[in-house]
Structure 1
C-alpha cells in the first residue's frame, strides 16, 4: 500500500493556523488563498489519519492530537529553517570551518601570510591548522581529516589532486662559525665530507637528499637523524654537523643561529602545492581559501 508523507508546506500551514488562530491571517502569512490553506490542512489530516483542528463557522480549536503535535511541528520547522539559513551562510562564506594540513616549513613561514589575506576577506570562517610532516599531510587529505593540504608533490596518485604553487630549492645549512660559511656557495662534495644531519625515514626530504647524493656519486651516510626540521636546525647550530633543507625552512635555520648557503652543484628542488581529494568537491570556504593561496603564492 502506497503511503503518502506530510510536506513542509502542510506543516507550515498547521503551525500558522495554530499560532494566529485565524485562517484568514494564516493564509496571508503564507501567501496562500484560504481554499488552498484548507486543502493543505485536509491533506495533512488525511496523511496522519485524523483531525488536528475542529472547526465551526466562526472559530476553531486544536484537537488533543493537534495540541500534542504542535510543539514538535514548531521544532521541526525551526530546525529546517535554521539548517537552510546555515547552509546559505556557508555558501555566502559568512560561517564555516576549514581544516588544513601543512608541512611545518610552510606553516611556520609562508602560511600566515595567506591566512591573513583570507581572514581579511572572510572573517567569520574558522580555520583549524595541522602542521605535520609531508607524509602526514598526504595521509590527512586522503582520509578526509583535512580538506586542503600544503606539501611537496607526492607523486601521482589516483585519489589526489596536486595544484602547484612554486618550486622550493634546497640550501646547505652550516654552523655559524663553520669554515664553509665563508663562501657564497657550497658544493655537495664539501658537505659529504662533514657529519650530515637529516630527517628520519620515511621523510620525503630525506629521500630527495639521498637521491641527490646518489646522482653525484657521493655516499649518503647521515651521522645524526631527527624527526623535525627545527631539531635539525638546533643540532646544526650547536656544531654537530651540516644539513640540506628546503629554502622554506631558511628563516627557521637562521633564527636558531645556523647559516644557509646555496648549492653550487645545480639545483635540488621540489614543487610545493595544494593537495585535495580528486573525487570529493571542496566546500565553498575551501574553494575561497585555495583561490587566495594561488593569488598569494604562485610564482611564474
Structure 2
C-alpha cells in the first residue's frame, strides 16, 4: 500500500496542468496553452498520478478525458487554483494601489454618468493601476461580482442572497420618453392616461427595469404587452429615436443616447424609481485600489456625500 508523505513535490503547477488538460482534452493543445512541450506536460501529469496512486486521465480516449477519480479531483483542483490566483492577486496589491488592477461591472448609464468621471479622477492619481469595465444588466452584474470576475458592481438589487452586499448609491426616477415630433414632446409633465398604450415599446420583464415597471401600482396592463418589445433600454431608445414608439425609462438610462431626436417628459402620477446600489461580496474586503476607486465614485451618486 502506498504511503503518502507530508513532504511532496506536488504543487500548484501540477493542479494547473491537470485543469488545463481537462479543458483542452489534448496533451498537445494543453502544452501549448501552458507554454511547455508535450513531454513536459506528460511528465507533470505522471508525477501527480504517481503521488496520489490513481490514474487521473484516460490517455487512450480521443479526446483525452478524465477518469472518474480524475473528474472528482478536478472539481477541487479548480477551486484551489481559483483561490490561489485570487490570493496571489490580492498579495501583489498589498504593497499599495500603484500596482495591480480593478475590475468593475456596471450598466451603460452608470458607466457614462458616474463611473467615467470617477475613473478620470482615479487615473489621474493612480495611472499605473489597470482598470477593466464590464457593462451589463443587473442580473449579470451581480453574477460577475459573485463569481469574482468583478471586484464590485453598480446595479439594481437583483440577487436575493446573503453572499452580496448592496449599498444604495443613486435614485433614478422614471420618465416618459418619446420622439421630439411626438404630440406629448415638450410638455412639462404628463399623466399615464395621456399615453397611448399602442405606442408603448414594452420592456422584457426579465430585466431589472422591466420587473420594476411590471410591479409598479397604477401601470396600465396594456403597457406591459406592447406589440413592439425590447430586451434593453438601448434598443428602446434606438427605436424611439426613429419615431417607432414611446417608453417609460429611468431618467439616467434614458440619457445614455444623447440624441436631439429623443425627448424626456416628467410623469405627474407615477412615483416610480430605481435604486442603483454598489454591489460587493459579503464578508470580503476590497483591495486598496478598489476601495480608493469607490471613494472617487460614491460622491457622484445622488445618495453620496460630496
Where on the TM-score scale, by shorter chain, does this alignment land: which range?
A: 0.5 to 0.7
Q: How many correspondences in the alignment? A: 220
SS at match of 2:172: strand
Distance 1:173 1:116 in 2: 30
Partner residue, 1:59 = none
Give secondary structure in 1 for the equivalent of 2:171.
strand
Can you list the C-alpha shifts for 1:88-110, whole angstroms capped at 9, x where unaligned? 76432110111111011211332
Alpha-carbon deviation of 1:277? 0.5
- Which TM-score applies when normalising by structure 1? 0.66
Q: Residue 189 of structure 1 contacts residue 218 of structure 1 at CA under 8 Å; is this kept in 2?
A: no
1 or 2, which has the higher helix percentage?
1
Which of the two has higher C-alpha Rg? 1
1:191 paired with 2:195, answer yes
Change (3 A) 1:298 1:193: closer
Shift of 1:209: 1.2
Cα 1:244–1:269 shift into 2, 3 Å: same
**What do residues 162-183 of structure 1 show as CA deviations (whole Å, max 9, x unaligned)?**
1111211111101111111132
1:57-96 map, 5 Å: 87=91, 90-96=94-100
Summarize deviations over 1:218-268 as a string: whole Å, max 9, x none: 533222222332221111121211001111123234426211111111421
Q: TM-score scaled by structure 2?
A: 0.65
Q: Map 1:273-288 to 2 at 5 A.
A: 273-288=277-292
Instruction: Say whether the 8 Å CA contact 2:177–2:248 is kept in structure 1.
Output: yes
Quick one: distance in 1 between partners of 2:142 and 2:288?
Answer: 21
1:97 matches 2:124: no
Distance 1:109 1:185, change over 3 A: same
Match of 1:206 in 2: 210
Residue pair 1:100, 1:148 contacting (<8 A) in 2 also: yes
Q: What does residue 52 of structure 1 align with?
A: none
Distance 1:93 1:189, change over 3 A: same
- 2:234 corresponds, among 230, 234, 246, to 230
Structure 2 segments unaligned to the other structure (5+ residues): 8-87
Partner of residue 175, structure 1: 179
- Aligned residues: CA RMSD: 2.7
Question: What residue in structure 1 maps to residue 218 of structure 2?
Answer: 215
